[in-house]
A and B are shown apart, each in its own frame.
Chain A
Amino acid sequence: MSDTPVLKIKNLQAKVAEDELRILTGLDLEIKPGEIHAIMGPNASGKSTLAKVLAGHPGYEATAGSVVFQGEDLLELEADERSQAGLFLAFQYPVEIPGVSIANFLRTAVQSRLTDGDELDIFEFSDQLTERMEMLDMDISFAERHVNDGFSGGEKKRNEILQMAMLKPKLAVMDETDSGLDIDALKIVANGVNALVEEDPTMSILLITHYQRLLDYIKPHFVHVMVAGQIVRSGGPEVALDLEAEGYKMYEGFESSANGNSPVTTA
């Protein structure tokens, strides 16, 4: 495994574009190829904002700090360029696109990754889509349904993993993928993610979650606690277990100055 991080966030500060309030207040994070990180935190700690800022949501603005993704300045890229560079965001609330079939949507997304002039091999694409859908226990007819239109919560999340499986990112940011899922759907989603990790051991994952539950199925190497827009504690899986036992209470009123390079670790 390479030691060069796939993602390196330094002192990241960000806010909603037309607002003054900083939501990310100086966040540091480093993810190396093949690592699975989990960020946990109470509501309104800025977890989803981090996901959106990383993916390039136009409604958010980075005001300070840097994000280097695979050697590139991520903040300089448009959302589509970030995706093409290998970043993937699994949405907490996947968006409905009526009238656009999943097959058409994915074909366009895969095509957009090809260099100019290259044509997508439609048969290869189709075979791959079928195979990926089988892996995620999806009926093939699903490909003809309109993107997230009238989907159940579980179907929406499975559709996110299907996209991830087709786009093969270097880093997948999964924003509260477990929310709204019953235990069976959660298992299917987690199994899908684990299969993808097995397939490409250099793929990195950043799980954003409120609950420990997801981490029983996708085992993180590192767990970070996020409070008030920064990471206040980092460690191994035991951090999540502590949280499960004690809740976020111990972090209430926690204030810390952004502290540059060194992550805060408590043993």
Chain B
Amino acid sequence: MPENETIQDLGLDEYKYDFVTDAEPVFRAEKGLSEKIVRQISAHKEEAEWMLDLRLKALEIYESKPMPKWGGDLTGLEDVLDEIYFYVRPQDRMEHSWEDVPEEIKDTFEKLGIPEAERKVLAGVGAQYESEMVYHSLREEWEKQGVIFDSIEDGLKNHPELFREHFGTVVPTQDNKFAAMNSAVWSGGSFVYIPPGVSLETPLQAYFRVNQERMGQFERTLIIVDEGAQAHYIEGCTAPVYSTESFHSGVIEIVVKKNARFRYTTIQNWSNNMYNLVTQRALVDEGGHMEWLDGNLGSKLTMKYPSCYLMGEGAHGEILSIAYSGDGQHQDTGGKVVHVAPHTTSSIVSKSISKGHGRSTYRGLCKVHEGAHHARSNVECDALLINETSRTDTYPYIEIEENDANVGHEASVSRIGEEQLFYLTSRGIPEEEAMAMIVRGFIEPIAKELPLEYAVELNRLIELEMEGSVG
């Protein structure tokens, strides 16, 4: 098709696993990020002028901002950024074959008991899991209620006003270097709108969004929960997601209007070559209720701090997060709660598990602005270390500008104790299983909040990770 020839194929960084694709693209743009590439992305998506302008401005901001000096070690990232392609046409991602997926990933799918069709999706070599029938009936029901659940691209095309009114209002382009990068090159993600008073029983799962990329490298998601509406959105899965890319930088913007309730669940298990830098933020209006449930299991380095900005009186924000770091992994995660209005409440519960040479960092901010009187916030972070070599750090930032605020912080670090292990093994439970049991118990307060199938998968994953940890 002529269209394919004019839109340059930016390919994948295939060298890493020596992929050989049957169809070599005719054109291939240079690696790295440039104005040309930003224009190409926008043209390919046939975007409105304002979006192109926004992208170009974002590129400028990105280039003007220095690399963050805090958080995880980003020294290797500069090289990665020079090497990657910033835009990959979705259909091209499917050109790889199952045979090309590394054995260890296949092996993990096998052990997790992931159905065959789903494995291919997770490995990025198949079409979406065949849930189309389920999806269609749900979709009809949602449409009747006026719910919009689209790809971000379709959201922009089909609902331009609603989109423009909210896009970039929660995470402004200039917010941070990677938010600017995402704003320049975003591609893939969801656009969701829940009309006033509508309450959805079934969680919206990115999973169901057929014929679209489920997880882009620069995904952008915008969710608007209108007054009094209620919904739950689930992104990702506990199974390892194999990606040929080594960099993921998403932006998730959520608007929770007056008296609305929303929960966003995300679990990432990227392969261990991935830098995963994500900005997730929600603005919560009067009486609104926002919950982030955030699981980070994979990646080389993740820096992710889901935030709740409590803008209206009585708003509530909650962040539950769980992180697992094995050898060569650093999870720098936590959460931010910003109290802007009076009588706002928040809670952060963060649990991390570090194994081998893994490192987990809790980084959290609780800010109470002047005028947010009677704000209440509670932070609890618990770290579990499996081995002597594992590491954990805690950076709780607390800034309070209001006398009448109640802020609590508790932190604990524990090791799997010899006495705990002995107790379980003395009942006939083999040591590895005993260890997995203790770890599962540790994350239980968060796992119990997950939908059942996710919790089951998470538990199986923990068991796999504990294999060979007895020494």
Contacts and interface: CB of A to CB of B under 8 A. Distances in A.
Most buried by A among B418, B422, B433, B440: B422
Nearest to B437: A100
A80 B425 contact: yes
Interface in A66-112: 78-80, 82-84, 89, 91, 94-100, 104-105, 108-109, 112
Nearest to A55: B426
Most buried by A among B433, B443, B445: B433
A177 interface: no
B426 A56 contact: yes
Interface residues of A, number: 29
A58 B418 contact: yes
B427 A99 contact: no
A16 interface: no
A57 B437 CA distance: 19
Contacts of B431: 78, 80
Contact of A98 (B424, B428, B442): B442
B429 interface: yes
A69 to B, nearest CB: 14
Nearest to B433: A108
A57 B445 contact: no
Chain B residues touching A, majority SS: helix
Nearest to B436: A108
B185 to A, nearest CB: 41
B140 interface: no
A8 interface: no
A80 B428 contact: yes
A163 interface: yes
Contacts of A94: 423
A260 interface: no
B419 interface: yes
A187 interface: no
Interface string A33-68: 000000000000000000000011111000000000
A91 B418 contact: no
Interface of B: 417-420, 422-431, 433-434, 437-438, 440-445
Interface of A: 55-59, 78-80, 82-84, 89, 91, 94-100, 104-105, 108-109, 112-113, 146, 163, 167
3 A-B pairs closest in CB distance: A99-B441, A99-B444, A83-B428
18 contacts: A55-B422, A56-B425, A58-B418, A80-B426, A91-B426, A94-B423, A95-B417, A95-B419, A97-B423, A99-B440, A99-B445, A100-B441, A105-B437, A108-B429, A112-B428, A112-B429, A146-B441, A146-B444
